Amino acid sequence: MTAPTSPSGSTALSPARGVMLVARRELRTRLRSRSFVIGTIITIAVIAAYVGFMYFMGSSSSHVNVGLTGQATAVAEPLKTASKAMGKEVDTQSVSDPATGERMVRDGDLDALVVGAPGALKVVVQKEISDELRAALDGLTRQQALDARLAEAGLNPVDVNREVANARVTVSTLEVPDPQQDQRKVLAFASLFLLFFSVQTFGSMVAQGVVEEKSSRVVEILLSTVRPWQLMVGKVLGIGLVGLVQLVIIGGVALGAAIGADVLTLPDAAVGTLASVLGWYLIGFFLYAMILAASAALVSRQEELGSVLTPVLMLLMVSFFVGFTLLRNPGNKLVEVLSLIPPFGPVLMPSRIALGVAPAWQIALSVGLTVLAVVGIAWLGGRIYANAVLRTGGRVKLREALRTE
Amino acid sequence: MPEALLEIDRISKRYGDVVALRDMSFEVRAGEMFGFVGSNGAGKTTTMRIALGVLAADSGEVRWNGSPITFETRRRIGYMPEERGLYPKMKVAEQLAYLAELHGSGSAAARRAADVWIERLGLTEKRDEEVQKLSLGNQQRVQLAAALVHDPEVLVLDEPFSGLDPVAVDVMSQVLREKCAEGVPVVFSSHQLELVERLCDRVGIVRSGHMVACGTVAELRSGGTERVMVDVDGAGYGWVDALSGVRVVERQGSRAVLELERGVDDQEVLRAAVAAGRVREFAPHRPSLTELFRNVVTEEAAA
């Protein structure tokens, strides 16, 4: 009989503790690594710059400063009303004389200077006039001309205008229009990109980690105490959590910034999208990471890694590019079908959810199929990994790796 | 409690048509240091990897204390692989504590054990450095610490001395002797035969996947023909031809090694030498392990 304990009092290692120890090592070493910290900071900086840019663009393009001088001051209120109807905020101010006004336009204090009588308005701008402002001013001038003619013809301009304003076409829509379509597209693109980026980054990290252990031969020591599946699952779990941490940080910061800066006005949909991205990331990552781990176990050196990773990452890339179609045509049939089946589903379905075009049964089906695939891949990948990870020297053929020992 | 005993029993392994191991057998007991020698590719590493379960044997059995070794009992082996295996980017202390935990130690005990071995092997200043930044010799010390950190009941070390400077060789030898004295069976392979001869209680010589000689160095020496070393001033060695059953095996300056066939009286030879000239030296010649190794390996090759 064997002695039950060793002198150091060490006890038998439960499978769960083996997995936990491996995962904890990955988490600890990778969360502290310079590449993770710098990568996260850079991504946040890029998002901050983008949100800031959008905010600046939004505020500068929707606000116009217009100076009015002489008789033109009378059109201040109608100009504001007309511009607002076209989605432009106009701030007006009276300017003492045209010369002062022109100087202010030249200095950039005013976007435009309006002079002349209401029936014959003239605009001075630095280089070009925005379409909305031109349309608003044109409308005012035409209204003046029309009012004058109406008065000549003996009609009351006020009555005629009211009548004209009430006459409009009746629109009946076949589908309920979504006024937030544009914002939904932003969310859809963000989830598409985040999923692609995270699964690719952290999936590759798993593959590199597998080869690192194999090429440094530390795997020989590890496998004399933990089983191959424990090592593989622990590694995938640990690196998956690292990716989740980064996704939560990046997603949270982006969401906070976008809502805070009023770039995004759909907080509920945005939070929902982030939650769905996190969920889909987990199953999508497990699927790809286990394929990548098993593929990486077939090679012995980092230099050979590209040849086995490319086909797998290609699938991910295809999903990503197919996803772009959604932004132009959210109802695309091909994407709809692909979003149901792994390995495309985890990248495509979240975008469709963000766009609001995925029925519940399709979401459920896609989740179900992906989870099934994860289970299948875990079994198959675990077997390939176990058979290949200790064979060093050359590249192991897939057929050999699948053979039972 | 039964005495610690590691048995390698008739292990065979082939890769396609190549026979890597053929009925490899030996055993190592508590407090015994076993040296494993053989040419490159003779099967030493394959044997050790099979003992660690890193490789599966085609047939044969590895037993620990009488029962076939299992995944659980393997955890009590301290292993140093031939090609060193550590995480290049992990710090020394963290790495050792991690390996101790993987072998079943609790977190606190693992950290303590890591510190003990770091100090013992003179790595205190390097404890927070990444392994890849250490010199090869220091990496080797960390590797030994990795084999010892979980307080193993057996040590299996593949080429532990290769690439070490003389100081590190002494440290390593000392540690192995201590472990041995604690009752831990130690197996190691090496090409440094003088070192093996000095350290090991028993030696196994492997050739083409088969154990061709196994025992204490004295046992390996016995059974062969008797040899004497003589130093006769000035006279040359023509006088040897007159003696039957005696021949010169080797000459170095005025010295010669003579081989005596069974039944030849060495006193006869001495008298002949005195008659031939002034005898400065006349002693039984004990072949070193290096010579034994050469003999064993070439004998087999010729056979």
A78 and A187 assigned to the same domain:
no
Q: In terms of Cα–Cα distance, which of B49, B3, B46, B43 is closest to B27?
A: B3
User: Do residue A37 and residue A67 come from a single domain?
Assistant: no
Stretches where chain A sits below pLDDT 70 are 1-12, 57-62, 87, 175-179, 392-394, 404-405
A243 within a domain of the structure (yes/no): yes
Residue A91 in any domain: the answer is yes
State pLDDT tens for residues B192-249.
888 888 889 898 988 888 888 888 877 777 766 778 888 888 767 788 888 888 888 8
Please report, for residues B172, B211, B259, the alpha-carbon distance to residue B134 in angstroms, rounded to integers and kept in the order given: 17, 37, 50
Is the domain of A193 the same as that of A337? yes
User: Which residues on B lie below 8 Å from A227 (Cβ)?
Assistant: 71
Give me the residue from B71, B146, B150 closest to A10, CB to CB. Answer: B150
Nearest CB to A25; choose among B1, B54, B98: B98
Q: Tell me if A51 is assigned to some domain.
A: no
A269 and A310 assigned to the same domain: yes
Cα gap A76→A112, rounded to integer Å? 13
Question: Which residues in chain B touch residue A20, judged by CB atoms under 8 angstroms apart?
Answer: none
Amino acid at A255: L
Percent of chain A topping pLDDT 70: 92
Question: pLDDT higher for B66 or B295?
Answer: B66
- Asked if residue A202 belongs to a domain, the reply is yes
Task: Lay out the sheet containing B255-260: strands in order across.
Answer: B246-252, B255-260, B226-233, B278-284
Position A219 scores a pLDDT of 87
Max CA distance (Å), chain A: 119
Q: Which of A91, A126, A161 is the last residue of a domain?
A: A161
Q: Is residue A4 part of a domain?
A: no
Of A21, A217, A220, the CB nearest to B102: A21
Confidence at residue A369, expressed as pLDDT on a 0 to 100 scale: 94
How far off is chain A from B194, nearest CA to CA, in Å? Answer: 29
Q: What is the pTM of this model?
A: 0.74
Q: Please give the residue of chain A at the shortest CA–CA distance from B72.
A: A12
A25 in contact with chain B, both atoms CB, cutoff 8 A: yes
Are A29 and A86 contained in the same domain?
no
Largest CA distance in chain B: 76
Query: Residues 70 to 99 of B: which have CB under 8 A from any A CB?
Result: 71-77, 79, 81, 83-90, 94, 98-99
Across the interface, which of B77, B89, B109 has its CB nearest the CB of A8? B109
Can you say whether the dihedral through the CA atoms of A82, A86, A89, A93 is positive or negative? negative
Is residue A56, in this structure, part of any structural domain at all?
Answer: no
Q: Is B67 on the interface with A (CB under 8 A)?
A: yes
Least Cα separation, residue B32 to chain A (angstroms):
19
Nearest-Cα distance to chain B for A192, in Å, is: 33
Rounded to an integer, what distance in angstroms lies between the CA atom of residue A224 and that of residue B55? 10
A129 and A25 share one domain: no
Decide if A315 touches B, using CB distance below 8 A. Answer: no
CATH of the domain at A92: 3.40.190.10
**CB of A346 within 8 A of CB of A280?**
yes
A29 alpha carbon, distance to own chain's centre: 28
d(CA B124, CA B141): 12
Asked if B81 lies within 8 A of A217 by C-beta distance, the reply is yes
Residue partners of B264: CB distance under 8 A and separation at least 6: B226, B243, B244, B245, B246
Assign 3-class secondary structure to chain A: CCCCCCCCCCCCCCHHHHHHHHHHHHHHHHHCCHHHHHHHHHHHHHHHHHHHHHHHHHHHHHEEEEEECHHHHHHHHHHHHHHHHCCCEEEEEECCCHHHHHHHHHHCCCCEEEECCCCCCEEEECCCCCHHHHHHHHHHHHHHHHHHHHHHCCCCHHHHHHHHHHCCCCCCCCCCCCCCHHHHHHHHHHHHHHHHHHHHHHHHHHHHHHHHHHHCCHHHHHCCCCCHHHHHHHHHHHHHHHHHHHHHHHHHHHHHHHHHCCCCCCHHHHHHHHHHHHHHHHHHHHHHHHHHHHHHCCCCCHHHHHHHHHHHHHHHHHHHHHHHHHHHCCCCHHHHHHCCCCCCHHHHHHHHHHHCCCCHHHHHHHHHHHHHHHHHHHHHHHHHHHHHCCCCCCCCCHHHHHCCC
Joined tokens for residue A203: 């999936």
Q: Determine contact, residues A296/A206, Cβ cutoff 8 Å.
A: yes
Cα A217–Cα A244–Cα A36 angle in degrees, nearest 5: 60
**A1, A6, A12: residue with CB nearest B151:** A6
For residue A3, the chain B residues in CB contact (below 8 A) are 1, 65, 153
B144 — phi, psi (to 5°)? Answer: -65, -45
The token duo for B20 is: 């890597």
Nearest CA in chain B to A209: B87
- Nearest CA-CA partner of A281 in A351, A356, A346: A346
In terms of Cα–Cα distance, which of B81, B73, B99, B86 is closest to B154? B73
Peptide bond into A343 cis (omega under 30): yes
Residue A352's domain comprises: 15-43+180-401
Q: Are residues A146 and A192 in the same domain?
A: no
Place of tokens 């606190």: B108
Do residues A197 and A330 both lie within one domain? yes
Q: Is A4 on the interface with B (CB under 8 A)?
A: no
Of B56, B85, B106, the CB nearest to A216: B85
- A186 and A310 both lie in a single domain: yes
Choose among B1, B81, B113: nearest Cβ to A221: B81
Query: How far is B249 from A147, CA to CA, in rounded Å?
Result: 133
Scanning A29-58 for CB atoms below 8 A from B yields 29
| Gap from A349 CA to chain B (nearest CA, Å) | 38
- Contact list, A223 vs chain B (CB under 8 Å): 53-54
Q: In degrees to the nearest 10, what's the CA dihedral of B23, B24, B29, B31?
A: 170
Name the residue in chain A with its Cα closest to that of B148.
A8
The dihedral of CA B112, B116, B117, B122: what is its sign? positive
What are the C-alpha distances in Å from A350 to residues A133, A285, A289, A327?
Answer: 40, 14, 19, 13
Band (pLDDT 50/70/90 cuts) for residue B112 is very high
Distance CA A101, CA B37 (A): 99
Residue in A2, A26, A223 to test binding to B, most B beta-carbons within 10 Å: A2
Spatial contact of A1 and A216, defined as CB atoms under 8 Å apart: no
Terminal C-alpha separation, chain B: 45
Which of A10, A21, A216 has the CB atom closest to B86's CB atom?
A216
- The total number of structural domains in chain A stands at 2
Residue B146 and residue A221: Cβ atoms within 8 Å? yes
Q: Considering CB atoms only, which of B56, B86, B90 is closest to A405? A: B56
**Chain A residues within an 8 Å CB radius of B130:** none
Backbone angles phi, psi at B256, to 5 degrees: -145, 150
d(CA A155, CA B112): 101
**One domain, residues A120 and A31:** no
Using the Cβ of A227 and the Cβ atoms of chain B, whether some distance falls under 8 Å is answered with: yes
Which residues 204-243 of B have a C-beta within 8 angstroms of A? none
From the list B53, B87, B106, which residue is nearest A224 (CB)? Answer: B53
Contact between chains at B102 and A220 (C-beta distance less than 8 A): no
Of the candidates B67, B52, B59, B77, the one whose C-alpha atom is nearest the C-alpha of residue B7 is: B67
Please report the pLDDT score of residue B235 as a whole number.
66
What amino acid is encoded at A320 in this protein? Answer: F
Please tell me the predicted confidence (pLDDT) of residue B244. Answer: 82
With a cut of 90, say whether residue B83 has pLDDT above it.
Answer: no
- Domain co-membership, A380 together with A239: yes
User: Is A220 an 8 Å CB contact of chain B?
Assistant: yes
d(Cα B5, Cα B30) in Å, to the nearest integer?
A: 6
Shared domain check, A302 and A232: yes
Query: Does a structural domain hold residue A219?
Result: yes
B54 touches chain A (CB under 8 A): yes
Residue of A nearest to B79 (CA): A221
Nearest chain A Cα distance for residue B205, angstroms = 25
The conformational region for residue A130 under phi > 0 = left, psi -120 to 50 = alpha, else beta, is: beta
Residues of chain A found within 8 Å of residue B102, distances taken between Cβ atoms: 13, 18, 21-22, 222, 225-226
Query: What's chain A's Rg over C-alpha atoms?
Result: 32
Smallest CA-to-CA distance from B152 within B99, B190, B91 is with B99
Stretch 132-161 of chain B: residues touching chain A, C-beta under 8 Å: 146, 150-153
- Residue A394 confidence (pLDDT): 67
Give the one of A2, A29, A223 whose C-beta lies nearest to B90's C-beta: A29
Backbone angles phi, psi at B62, to 5 degrees: -110, 130
pLDDT tens track for B252-302 = 888 888 888 877 888 888 888 888 888 888 888 877 777 777 777 776 555
With an 8 Å Cβ cutoff, is B107 touching chain A?
no
Residue A205 lies in a domain: yes
In 3D space, the residue among B278, B176, B298, B285 whose CA is nearest the CA of residue B231 turns out to be B278
Copy the structure tokens of residue A43. 């991504």
